[in-house]
Amino acid sequence: MADPHLPPEEVARLHRRADELVALGSLLADGGEVPAAWSEALHALADRLGASYPFADPQYLGQMLKPPHPVAWSAYAMAMLLNPNNHALDGGPATAHLEREAVGQIAAMLGYDGHLGHLTASGTWANLEALWVARRLHPDRAVVSGANAHYTHARICEVVGARHEELPQTPDGALDLAALEARLAAGGVGTVVATLGTTALGRLDPVHRIADLCAAHGARLHVDAAYGGFFALLADGGTPGVDPEPFAALPRADSIAIDPHKHGLQPYGCGCILFRDPGVGALYRHDSPYTYFTSDELHPGEVSLECSRSGAAAAALWATLRAVPLTRDGLGEHLAGARAAAVSLAGRLEGLDGWRTVGVPDLDIVCWHRDRPTASAVSAAADADFDALAAAGWHVAKLRVDPGMIGVEPDAATATVLRGTLMKPVHAAMVEPLVAALEGL
């Protein structure tokens, strides 16, 4: 693998930012003398950050990573001059209200009328709160998720003490409905986890069909929309768009996890959990003799498992949504660019001699591989192509799939394919150059 390294001009920019930022770091004074040790530390950091992949660059389409929106970045830094804590209204009197407003906008985007919800450290923590509630409501019943779901669900069930069962996925990477129906009919399932935008392929589980099955069998439904949730803005039948049906069923979910730090243009540390029934707040009931005394209003910490939470994260999200609202013309514009890039890349790859795509992308993740007869040959080609692309300045990712998913002879347990996450609108302009790079390999 090539050494990750930022282009020199980006490292130079980090060095300039170091001097600009440190002078702004106090609310008690403007600038002033900066001790040499502070400058030295920041310039040393700029050098060390050079050993990153260039996440901002159009040629980076590896993991689910991109820098936050400038408004999010500035708002975060601004709020950080106070460093509010959204555990209680004492610690974050302003930012707790900003959090409530921003979370309300996300709930409305997903179609919830009423809701209980808050920001979390991550999608993992959002899912944890959902499955904690699931176990509290049905302590003796299983939580089931598909083999396509994020690996974290099985582990979270261990943490919250819930019994977890995995169901198979279909060859195109969605939760297998026939297997789900059979499992529900056998009884003992408390909660089904569906994924709206799987981490591997960006696949949309048929949430509408899963909601029907849950309703028929009296199971709760949790939707892990950590990656795909914001694509609700494109689920309106327009172009570029996404399949509206699974999104239209979201109001039927008992809980939804969504990650503003993935497609909501936020810095890390910003997940979100939403419950349809505000009554689940009763499960969180506790007292905190240290913190809940300045207000009779509900403190955020009274309906959250985490105590200290970043008020700056709430400020950043709130300001971003004010500048880039949750509409097709607002944040939808960013998602549309990403979605259009993925559709265009998949279309080009399908027509490219010697290459095949892994199914048709539902969102903005495209996976592809060389046309080879066996799993091991597909993997060997992907490893070599990955290295050659990296050497040419292209940052993609790898994904291991079941050989059955790509219809090759299973002479190995898995086949490695290439994976591109086209989550930046600038990726649209990269489709032809990437195809040319693949043709030149």
Ligand X SMILES: *Cc1c(COP(=O)(O)O)cnc(C)c1O
Closer to ligand X by Cβ: residue 69 or 222: 222
In the set 59, 86, 152, 320, which binds ligand X (CB under 6 A)? Answer: 152
Q: Please tell me whether residue 227 binds ligand X under the rule CB under 6 A.
A: yes
Task: Report the nearest approach of ligand X to the CB of residue 181 (Å).
Answer: 23
Q: Which residues of 66-100 are buried (b: 16+ CB within 10 A; e: fewer)?
A: bebbebbbebbbebbeeebbbbbbbbbebbbbbbb
- Check binding of 148 to ligand X (CB under 6 A): no
91, 291 contact by CB (below 8 A): yes
Among 57, 259, 302, 364, binds ligand X (CB under 6 A): 259
Q: Which stretch binds ligand X (CB under 6 A): 103-111, 224-232, 386-394, 406-414?
A: 224-232
Residue 348 tokens, joined: 């080009």
Between 95 and 152, CB nearer to ligand X: 152
Q: Which stretch binds ligand X (CB under 6 A): 36-44, 120-128, 174-182, 301-309?
A: 120-128
In 298-427, the DSSP E strands lie at 355-357, 365-370, 397-401, 415-421
Least CB distance from residue 195 to ligand X, whole Å? 5
Can you tell me which of 169, 195, 255, 416 binds ligand X, judged by CB under 6 A?
A: 195
Question: Is there binding between residue 271 and ligand X (CB under 6 A)?
Answer: yes
Question: Of 224 and 385, which CB lies nearer to ligand X in the complex structure?
Answer: 224
Give the CA diameter of the chain: 71
- Which CB sits closer to ligand X, 270 or 346? 270
- Judged by beta carbon, residue 254 or residue 259, the one nearer ligand X is 259
Which residue has the CB atom at the shortest distance from ligand X? 123
Q: How far is the CB of 121 from ligand X (least distance, A)?
A: 8
Smallest gap from Cβ 366 to ligand X, in A, equals 16
| Closer by beta carbon to ligand X, 59 or else 127 | 127
Nearest-approach distance from CB 175 to ligand X, in angstroms:
12
3-state SS class at 221: strand
Burial class (CB in 10 A: 0-12, 13-18, 19+), 317: buried
The residue within the footprint of ligand X, chosen from 86, 169, 191, 199 (CB under 6 A), is 199
Q: Can residue 368 be called a binding residue for ligand X (CB under 6 A)?
A: no
361 sits near ligand X (criterion: CB under 6 A): no
**Local structure of residue 244 (DSSP, 8 states):** H
Query: Which residues neighbour 232 within 8 Å (Cβ) at sequence distance 6 or greater?
Result: 109, 110, 111, 247, 250
Distances (CA, A) of 266 to 119, 293, 319: 12, 31, 10
Stretch that binds ligand X, among 106-114, 168-176, 219-227, 229-237 (CB under 6 A): 219-227
Residues contacting ligand X: total by CB under 6 A: 13
Sheet with 116-120: list strands edge to edge. 116-120, 271-275, 255-258, 220-225, 189-195, 142-146, 164-167
Considering the rule CB under 6 A, would residue 332 count as an interface residue with ligand X? no
Q: What is the residue whose two structure tokens read 């849950």?
A: 214
- 351 vs 355: CA distance, rounded Å: 8
Q: How far apart are CA 196 and CA 437, in angstroms?
A: 31
Judged by CB, which is closer to ligand X: 233, or 273?
273
Q: Which of 154, 157, 125, 151 is nearest to 139 (CA)?
A: 157
Question: From its phi and psi, is residue 297 left (phi > 0), alpha (psi between -120 and 50) or beta?
Answer: beta
When the beta carbons of 126 and 434 are compared against ligand X, the nearer one is 126
SS3 percent helix, strand, coil of the chain, rounded to 5, is 45, 15, 40
- Which one of residues 89, 103, 143, 226 is an interface residue with ligand X (CB under 6 A)? 226
Using the minimum distance from each CB to ligand X, give the nearer residue, 156 or 324: 156
Stretch that binds ligand X, among 22-30, 156-164, 209-217, 222-230 (CB under 6 A): 222-230
Helix pair 70-80, 311-323: axis angle to 10 deg: 140
Of the candidates 59, 122, 148, 344, which one interacts with ligand X according to CB under 6 A? 122
Q: How far apart, in whole angstroms, are the C-alpha atoms of residue 386 and residue 381?
A: 8
Which window, 109-117, 118-126, 174-182, 412-420, contacts ligand X (CB under 6 A)? 118-126
* Closest to 405 measured CA to CA, from 206, 242, 173, 214: 173
Interface residue with ligand X among 115, 150, 369, 370 (CB under 6 A) is 150
- What is the token pair recorded at 331? 């944040």
124 binds ligand X (CB under 6 A): yes
Prior bond of 240 cis (ω within 30°):
yes
Q: Which listed residue (84, 123, 146, 267) binds ligand X by CB under 6 A? A: 123
224 is an interface residue for ligand X by CB under 6 A: yes
User: Which of 259, 362 has the CB closer to ligand X?
Assistant: 259
Residues that bind ligand X (CB under 6 A): 122-124, 127, 150, 152, 195, 199, 224, 226-227, 259, 271
